[in-house]
Amino acid sequence: MGPGTPSFPLLESLGLASCGMKSIPIFLKNHSAIVDVNLAENQITGQVPSWIWDIDTLDSLNLSHNHLERVETTNATHVLRYVSLSFNQLHGHLPRFLSAYVLEASNNQFNSTISSVVRSFNDAFSYLDISRSNLYGSIPESICNMSSMYYLDLSDNFLTGDIPECLLNIRHLNLKGNNLSGILPDTLPSPCSLETIDISGNSLHGSIPKSLGNCGDLEVLDLSYNKLENAIPYELGLVSGQRFKAINVSHNELTGSIPTSFGNLTRLESLDLADNKLSGSIPKQLASLTYLSYFNVSNNQLVGRIPKGSQFRKFTQASFEGNKGLCGYPLKKKC
């Protein structure tokens, strides 16, 4: 499309995804009615032009899966509902003006500190994904200013340092695959707003917070592949809601016994406690978890008879191997 293309003055939605386009249509520059622009999965290169942010009516912009390298700055102040810049080749900083409720900017090449990127953001964000974008450094406390945030994905970057306490107030938090250290603060309020939390593949130490028991809407907890110590808190099995589906605390240095309170998690579908230093027996209360389809306690120090129950008949030897003191089906060792 070139300068001679009709302006379509009444056009509100432009969907030209996967059309082999090389540039952003220039006719949009003086458009006064456009609301939704989808140019994803094209071959657009270069910069996102500053004029596109000056379109006051624009509410949704999807430029994902292109070959864009930079975003030009502007003085525009209006807030978009949705912006996707994912799967490009963006580097440097995002412009300070950029305001959106939902921003997807994952799979880029920012090669920048997380502080410099976050400094560009407006406090209006409620959904932010900048995963897999070569970000490094520690997460700044200024991220706590985004008080409306309910979804944050900073996974698979090179982040270090502690996790700001305020992030545990976000409903959906993904920090997996970084090099974060320190301890998880045991200060979650009652009620707690967490629904899914994935901090796997980091270097966290200390204990699993007892206050996770305050999170009645918790659905998924993944703290695997860290350096967590001490016992799994009994309170984790006292989550009041009926939505808890998955717990993964495998590949840590946890000790003590498996909490009998896990028998209260009637909707639990997956429980992975493998590769720790857990001792004692497998609680018989777990046999009543009829939704449990994945169970792994391999490579611990567990002893005694494996519980009998309809779900436990479905688990293979791999779920229990590496515990010299365990016996009973499906292991060959008899009790």
Residue type, 174: N
Kindly state whether residues 180 and 236 are assigned to the same domain.
yes
CA 199 to chain CA centroid, nearest Å = 8
Q: What is the pLDDT of residues 115-136, one digit of tens each?
A: 888 877 777 789 999 999 999 9
**Residues 178, 64: one domain?**
no
Are 27 and 5 within 8 A, CB to CB? yes
| Residue 6 pLDDT exceeds 90 | no
Ramachandran area for residue 264 (φ above 0: left; ψ -120 to 50: alpha; else beta) = alpha
**Residue among 140, 145, 196, 127 at smallest CA distance from 168:** 196
Cβ neighbours of 311 (radius 10 Å): 17
Let me know if residue 3 belongs to a domain. Answer: no
- Examine residue 191 and say whether the peptide bond preceding it is cis (omega within 30 degrees of 0): yes
Q: Is residue 141 part of a domain?
A: no
Any domain includes 209: yes
Q: Which residues on neighbouring strands pair with residue 272, listed in sequence order?
A: 248, 296
60-98 residue pLDDT tens? 999 999 999 999 877 777 789 999 999 999 987 776 656
Same-domain check for residues 100 and 182: no
**Residue 301 forms beta bridges with which residues?**
279
- Answer yes or no: is 117 within a domain: yes
Report how far apart, in Å, the C-alpha atoms of 297 and of each of 152, 176, 291, 331 are.
30, 22, 17, 13
User: Three-state DSSP class for 50?
Assistant: helix
Specify which residues 62 forms β-bridges with.
38, 84
DSSP, res 66: S
- Out of 80, 109, 129, pick the residue that ends a domain: 129
Rounded distance between C-alpha atoms, residue 260 and residue 128, angstroms: 37
What percentage of residues in the chain have a pLDDT greater than 90?
Answer: 78
pLDDT digits (tens, 9 = 90+) for 219-242: 999 999 999 999 999 999 999 878
Considering the domain architecture, whether residues 80 and 167 belong to the same structural domain is answered as no
CATH number at residue 302: 3.80.10.10
Residues 96 and 195 in one domain: no
pLDDT on residue 2 = 46
Q: Is the pLDDT of residue 108 over 70?
A: yes
* Residue 152, in any domain of the structure: no
Range of the domain at 73: 9-129
What pLDDT shows up at residue 145? 86
288 to 237, 291, 311: CA distances (angstroms) = 14, 9, 8
At 15-40, the pLDDT tens digits run 999 999 999 999 898 888 899 999 99
Q: Are 262 and 271 in contact (CB under 8 A)?
A: yes
Is 60 exceeded by the pLDDT of residue 1? no
Asked if residue 74 and residue 199 are part of one domain, the reply reads no
35-57 mean pLDDT: 94
- Contact criterion met (CB below 8 Å) for 297 and 282: yes
H or E element, residue 303: strand 301-305
In a domain, 276, yes or no: yes
State whether 112 and 180 are in the same domain. Answer: no
Peptide bond into 330 cis (omega under 30): yes
Give dist(CA 220, CA 129) in Å, integer: 18
How many domains, in total, are found in the chain? 2
